[in-house]
Structure 1
Amino acid sequence: MSLFVRRNVTAGAPAALLTLTLLTAGCTGEGGNPSTPKAGSATPTAPHGHVEGAREAAEQQSRLLLNDPTTGDTRVLDLTTGKAHETSPRAGAVELTTDGRFGYFRTADGIRVLDGGTWTVDHGDHVHYYRAGIRDVGRLPADKGAHVRGDTAVTAVTGEDGRAVTYRRTAFEKHRVGPARPLPGKHAGAVVPYAEHLLTLTDDGTGTPEVTVHTRDGARAASTDATCEDPKGDAVTRRGVVLGCADGALLISEDDGHFTAERIPYAGDVPADERAVSFRHRAGSDTLTAHAGDRAVWVLDVTERTWTRVETGPVVAANTAGEGSPLLVLETDGALHGYDVATGEETARTERLLTGEHRAGAGGDGPVVENDRSRAYVNAPKDRRVYEIDYNDGLRVARTFDLDMEPRLMVETGR
């Protein structure tokens, strides 16, 4: 069954280009640590990414971290076995994010870190998949508005006051927090680990933050003339880091020690309430989605440097797996709708997945759409369920997971 939809597609203008060069460290193992060879041999003792006690698998090991902020109930749903595992309660979480392995529960008394126990190590020409036990890591001191961003080496926490600290991932892997390393200055938005450096928007008092590059140890490596007015939202893609700005997006990328900043502007004036201010995408994809007001979705093709606005019904959540995949939009009718990004036409939709009322453009806890390479996952908090959707087969509901708690917060790990 199809619904009539309106279409309004815009493309970005040619991007302005700014370039800066840095000396970057040579390629090492996972987390920047080279594997240690055996005495008298050049053969590593373990593959990159190996952690003592982990088991390597032949395919991706995905898990969903689920939380009910009111009760604190927390579960880890193993998508390989279909079993839900209970963990220590985490009440009062206002946000749940992940770096692909660790879950970060932002609460009023700090950030609670949970090791989801599955992760992927990508070496470009091949990947390794690992699974291990689910373990608590500890608490990171932070205010209720803090941003958390991480890669395979460091996790950066940026407070509401713009002050930031970093933590080494090696400590998290041993299930302890470790010391915090302060990053100098004040920063607008999140500090983002990328390409063995830290990208920041430094506020020098002029009112328009400027992109600055720091080493992982916090030393200022370089600055650039690239600025981002009223920054909101960020995402790491294979093409680089995308920052949401008042006039569109700023893409920061690195190639052999050269960092470039490219603007991807909207192709016209966009009202403030229709700006892209929070991005969602499949890990590893170069296609981002964001709300464009209450009844439309932005699709940012980072490869082509273009924005596309797709008119939909009232939006609750949206995501896409990337090039060639449908735009998935969970709407206030409780159904998941699939749209062709190029034409803006609806191509498929599910039956009603959610009961009750759901506000357009809902933020915080509530239903979301998580994508991986073959499936999408939709949490239905009031129904205590998670749906697995085959988005390559007309949005077929492949599995339904019934739970003993309300999954109001959800992220996928193992990617």
Structure 2
Amino acid sequence: MRTQRTLIAPLAASAAVTALLLSGCGTTGAEADPDSGEQADTAEPSDAEQVEETQPRLITTYDGGILTLDARTLEVIDDTKLEGFNRVNPVGDGRHAMVSVANGFQLFDAGVWTEEHGDHTHSFAGSPRLTDKVYETDTPGHIVRHGGSTVLFGDGDGRMQIFDTDAFHDGAPEPEVKEAEEAHHGVAVQLENGDVLHTIGNEEERSGAKVVDAEGKEIARNEDCPGVHGEAAAQNEAIAVGCEDGILYYKDGKFTKVDSPDSYGRIGNQAGSDDSPVVLGDYKVDEDAELERPEKVTLTNTETGKMKLVDLDSSYSFRSLARGPEGEALVLDTDGKLNVIDPESGKITGSHPVTEAWKEPVDWQQPRPTLFVQGQKAYVSEPDKSQLHIVDLATGEVEKSAELPHASNEVTGVTG
């Protein structure tokens, strides 16, 4: 069973709760080192209770705070006040998320978790909270979860903070730190063998990606990817990044570039699936547009090196792309429909109405309908109505909608 650190006095109530909950199995969590400085970061919620099953939750941001919701009922569990434009990404351990703040990434505890115990598990639920643990960096950027690792990238200093994702079960782990050649708006991924892929660039331009081993020795490099942006992992650990003229992916120790059919065919946002060799990407062709509202998406096959374009006849935004539980490509368009695309053939197999028609705002920080998938459900926000919808991906039907106290901007979740 994974041990959970708990608090000593004066917050010993937390330890008592965890010990009581686990007493039926004759074990308790281990005490935190009082000199470690981690007590406030690793404590269990004082109101935590053992529950019969996992309790998945959603985390949504709004201008001035963070809402935590029950992922099944959409009931508001907590409203955490936090001034300004907030960004949030799951850590990958089923419990925690990172909130981008001025001086780094701040650890958010969604208050639900499950512990293994022999041939069974114990699930717990308590109050969410924004911990005081901040992983400092200059201009926090992308967070990537892949192959049991979580990597935080700092755009202002090129700092890569790498964690064993499971280490978050025991509190607030300290990272292994690596640095990019120069600071830039970038991204990094740790592969299953410990190698690290990260982008190449500086404040003026971004040109490609490289892979280094655990000692920092360069294994592979490709700088034929102008404006490199975004990241997605496909089947058989093919790691793709987007370019202004195509897509670049790393697989089996080498990079492969797939060119766009247009001289400027920018793929800046991607969505991958372990169940498919195909990477879903956006597609923009107007280099001079203040805001292009694209109507085509890309499907790049990392086995064949071929790219398909799919015309939706409606635009979408960078928060419109996701993958379903079977690897299906999902795109939320501005007509308010959730499109389901076969990633191999490029055929649109379903188009399900979810929201009213909407228009993407010019300011990327402003709320717009956002798509998030967890398990068999898709969650779609409709900020103009302060609503959130649950879509059953098996049927395409909206099975539940709820009005929230604030208009959602970003939407993510934890499995509990």
- If the length of structure 1 is used for normalisation, what is the TM-score? 0.69
Question: 1:88 and 1:81, CA in 2 relative to 1: closer, same or farther beyond 3 A?
Answer: same
- Rounded to whole Å, the distance in 1 between the matches of 2:205 and 2:298 is 30
In structure 1, what is the equivalent of residue 212 of structure 2?
A: 213
1:25-36 to 2 correspondence within 5 Å? none
Per-residue CA distance 1:62-105 (angstroms, 9 max, x = gap): 3211110x222x12222245432215323223532223333222
SS at match of 2:384: helix
Number of residue-to-residue matches in the alignment: 350
Question: 1:370 and 1:288, CA in 2 relative to 1: closer, same or farther beyond 3 A?
Answer: farther
Q: Does 1:233 align with 2:230?
A: yes
SS at match of 1:277: coil
- Whether contact under 8 Å (2:225, 2:247) holds in the other structure is no
SS at match of 1:220: coil
In structure 1, what is the equivalent of residue 373 of structure 2?
A: 371
What one-letter code is carried by the residue in structure 2 that aligns with 1:193? Q
Deviation at 1:389, TM superposition (A): 0.8
In structure 2, what is the equivalent of residue 260 of structure 1?
A: 253
Per-residue CA distance 1:260-315 (angstroms, 9 max, x = gap): 2241513x53343x421111346766543222231111233445544221111122
Q: Does 1:279 align with 2:279?
A: no
- Rounded to whole Å, the distance in 2 between the matches of 1:368 and 1:250 is 26
- Rounded to whole Å, the distance in 2 between the matches of 1:334 and 1:349 is 8
- Rounded to whole Å, the distance in 1 between the matches of 2:310 and 2:54 is 31
What one-letter code is carried by the residue in structure 2 that aligns with 1:89? K
1:11-410 to 2 correspondence within 5 Å? 61-68=55-62, 70-72=63-65, 74-80=66-72, 82-100=74-92, 101=94, 102-117=96-111, 132-133=125-126, 134-137=128-131, 138-144=133-139, 146-151=141-146, 152-166=148-162, 172-176=168-172, 178=174, 181-183=177-179, 185-186=181-182, 189-195=186-192, 196-202=194-200, 208-215=207-214, 219-230=215-226, 231-240=228-237, 241-253=239-251, 259-266=252-259, 268-272=260-264, 274-281=265-272, 286-293=277-284, 294-302=294-302, 305-312=305-312, 313-316=314-317, 317-321=320-324, 325=328, 327-339=329-341, 342=345, 344-345=347-348, 347-350=350-353, 353-354=355-356, 357-359=358-360, 363-364=364-365, 365-393=367-395, 395-410=396-411
Per-residue CA distance 1:364-404 (angstroms, 9 max, x = gap): 443221123422110112222211112321x2111113322
Ranges in structure 2 where 5+ consecutive residues have no aligned partner:
4-26, 29-41, 285-293
Higher relative contact order (Cα pairs below 8 Å, separated by 6+ residues)? 1
Question: 1:340 and 1:280, CA in 2 relative to 1: closer, same or farther beyond 3 A?
Answer: closer
- Rounded to whole Å, the distance in 1 between the matches of 2:304 and 2:53 is 30
- Rounded to whole Å, the distance in 1 between the matches of 2:223 and 2:122 is 38
SS at match of 1:382: helix
- Rounded to whole Å, the distance in 2 between the matches of 1:414 and 1:227 is 38
What one-letter code is carried by the residue in structure 2 that aligns with 1:239? N
What one-letter code is carried by the residue in structure 2 that aligns with 1:211? K
Deviation at 1:114, TM superposition (A): 1.1
- If the length of structure 2 is used for normalisation, what is the TM-score? 0.68
- Rounded to whole Å, the distance in 1 between the matches of 2:321 and 2:108 is 25
What one-letter code is carried by the residue in structure 1 that aligns with 2:130? D
Question: 1:322 and 1:264, CA in 2 relative to 1: closer, same or farther beyond 3 A?
Answer: farther
Ranges in structure 1 where 5+ consecutive residues have no aligned partner:
1-28, 31-44, 254-258
Deviation at 1:55, TM superposition (A): 9.4
Question: 1:305 and 1:55, CA in 2 relative to 1: closer, same or farther beyond 3 A?
Answer: farther
Question: 1:158 and 1:52, CA in 2 relative to 1: closer, same or farther beyond 3 A?
Answer: closer
What one-letter code is carried by the residue in structure 1 that aligns with 2:211? T
Question: 1:202 and 1:343, CA in 2 relative to 1: closer, same or farther beyond 3 A?
Answer: closer
SS at match of 1:146: strand
Question: 1:82 and 1:361, CA in 2 relative to 1: closer, same or farther beyond 3 A?
Answer: same
- Rounded to whole Å, the distance in 2 between the matches of 1:368 and 1:297 is 17
Question: 1:288 and 1:376, CA in 2 relative to 1: closer, same or farther beyond 3 A?
Answer: farther
Per-residue CA distance 1:19-73 (angstroms, 9 max, x = gap): xxxxxxxxxx99xxxxxxxxxxxxxx99xxxx997999998753211110x222x
4+ long deviations beyond 6 Å: 51-60, 119-122, 126-129, 204-207
Question: 1:282 and 1:324, CA in 2 relative to 1: closer, same or farther beyond 3 A?
Answer: closer
- Whether contact under 8 Å (1:282, 1:370) holds in the other structure is no
What one-letter code is carried by the residue in structure 2 that aligns with 1:289? L
Over the residues paired in the alignment, what is the CA RMSD in angstroms? Answer: 4.2
Question: 1:320 and 1:107, CA in 2 relative to 1: closer, same or farther beyond 3 A?
Answer: same
